[in-house]
Amino acid sequence: MAGSIRCAKRGCGRVRNEDVCPHCGTVPSYVSIYFKGKHYRFARTKQGRVLKDINEARDLHAKMRLAINNGTFEPLEYTKTKIGERKFIHQAAEWLEQKIEEYEAGELSPETIRNYRGYVKNHFKPLDEYDAREIDYPTLENFKDALPRTLRIKTRRNILNALYDVFARMHRKGVIKDFPAWPEIKGDDSFVRSALTYDEQVAGISQIPDKYDREIIEFGFETGLRPGETCALKVMDVDVINRQILIRRTWSGKELREETKGLSKLWMSLSDRAWDIVSPRLRDALPEAFLFVNPRTGGAYRQKVLNRVWKAFSGYANIDHYSVSGHSFCTQLVHDGLGELEAQAAMRHKSLQSTQKYFHAHRDRMREHFNRRGRAYQKQNESKTKNEGLR
């Protein structure tokens, strides 16, 4: 192997070891390598940056000689194409393309893919020009610290989780050999879910003005459906004979998806009150018509509308509609004695762990248990003592 540092000026190209070419006064230089019968010219670092001075040229030359001696030298690694492929911006774009394919296959929601696009466009940019292999823990820590504090902790954590997924893909593809240590975002400002009793739900509904369709909110309470699922119900989803509904679509943002979370398509039995709400809406309605129609728009309700109406008039402005429907429904079923597996089936969850997240022990019921604690044992002992005294 023969190698040298040469002047980058066209027509000069002489070997040099000075900051400035002594023959023509040019500063830029390049590394010339003769390898396996071919001459190669390298004017950029492995990160794609043009050699700025003789010191960078020396450093590059030394690294190439070491790689050749170790048998790891690959000239193509220094081409513009390869350098571009190694940049984080290219790897993030490939990751996003994969996520879009997963979304088109129904594996991701529109809201999720919208967030991913925003992360790549707005938040990953500080890493764009890095060689993906050279992004280490200090760089990631600085990235984390630079995320705007105006963003919620949960949002910043989601951005960091998405970035982790980009690195996991690069590791699987062999782009990076070593996975860097990962920074952590501490704290939690996520919304705390809670549940209402049935009486509290009824009281909240009664305060909603007549001009709003209170029944769609009440229907959500009777079924425990996610608001997006309630708004997406159509007439064709109702089984009149067996008084049940099929949950097979949901609203995700502005998009109607023909599947629900968890891809669960199961029939759900309706309570007497839920059936009373549904049955009048079936008369003279086309199968494709939405079960609940917003009179203001003439189309389907959206979950944001339900949440806004509930918070504005119910007296429970601190509890969102999603908690009041699904979380309250599950909690009420368990409090009424429904077994864990039956509650899981009612909520259409794949795992019991998911169902457990929807249960919230109500303060009044817990207070009753606290007040009764030990009383039965105490009365039993008092009765036993009394009987022994009569002998």
DSSP 325-350: IIIHHHHHHHHTT--HHHHHHHHT-S
How confident is the model over 255-277, as a mean pLDDT?
Answer: 80
* Terminal-to-terminal C-alpha distance of the chain: 111
Which tens digits make up the pLDDT trace of 26-82?
999 989 988 888 888 888 877 777 888 899 899 989 888 888 888 888 887 777 778
Task: Quickly state the pLDDT bin for 362 (edges 50, 70, 90).
Answer: confident
Q: How far apart are CA 219 and CA 275, in angstroms?
A: 9
pLDDT given at position 35: 87
Q: How far apart are CA 170 and CA 89, in angstroms?
A: 12
Residues 6+ positions from 114 with CB-CB distance below 8 Å: 253
pLDDT given at position 274: 95
pLDDT given at position 77: 78
Please report the sign of the dihedral spanned by the C-alpha atoms of residue 160, residue 80, residue 39, residue 7: negative
pLDDT given at position 358: 87
How confident is the model over 8-37, as a mean pLDDT?
Answer: 89
> How many C-beta atoms lie closer than 10 Å to residue 187's C-beta?
10
For residue 249, CA distances in Å to 163, 174, 228 come to 30, 38, 8
Which tens digits make up the pLDDT trace of 165-199?
999 999 999 999 889 999 999 877 666 678 899 99
Question: 129: which 2 tokens?
Answer: 């020009």
How confident is the model over 244-268, as a mean pLDDT?
Answer: 78
pLDDT given at position 381: 59
Q: How far apart are CA 251 and CA 292, in angstroms?
A: 13
3-state helix, strand, coil in the chain (%, to 5): 50, 10, 35
Where are the alpha helices (H) located in the chain, listed in sequence order?
54-70, 80-86, 88-104, 110-118, 137-146, 153-173, 198-206, 214-223, 227-232, 272-278, 303-313, 321-322, 328-335, 340-347, 352-358, 363-372, 375-389
Residue 190 DSSP one-character state: P
163 pLDDT above the threshold of 80 = yes
Which tens digits make up the pLDDT trace of 296-316?
899 999 999 999 999 999 999
pLDDT given at position 91: 96
Q: How far apart are CA 57 and CA 29, in angstroms?
A: 7
pLDDT given at position 360: 84
225 pLDDT above the threshold of 80 = yes
pLDDT given at position 124: 97
Which residue has better confidence, 235 or 10? 235
User: How many residues belong to the chain?
Assistant: 391
pLDDT given at position 223: 94
> How many C-beta atoms lie closer than 10 Å to residue 117's C-beta?
13
Task: Quickly state the pLDDT bin for 387 (edges 50, 70, 90).
Answer: low
Q: How far apart are CA 162 and CA 148, in angstroms?
A: 16
Which residue has better confidence, 202 or 261? 202
Q: How far apart are CA 379 and CA 254, in angstroms?
A: 61
240 pLDDT above the threshold of 60 = yes
Angle of helix 110-118 relative to helix 153-173, nearest 10 degrees?
Answer: 80
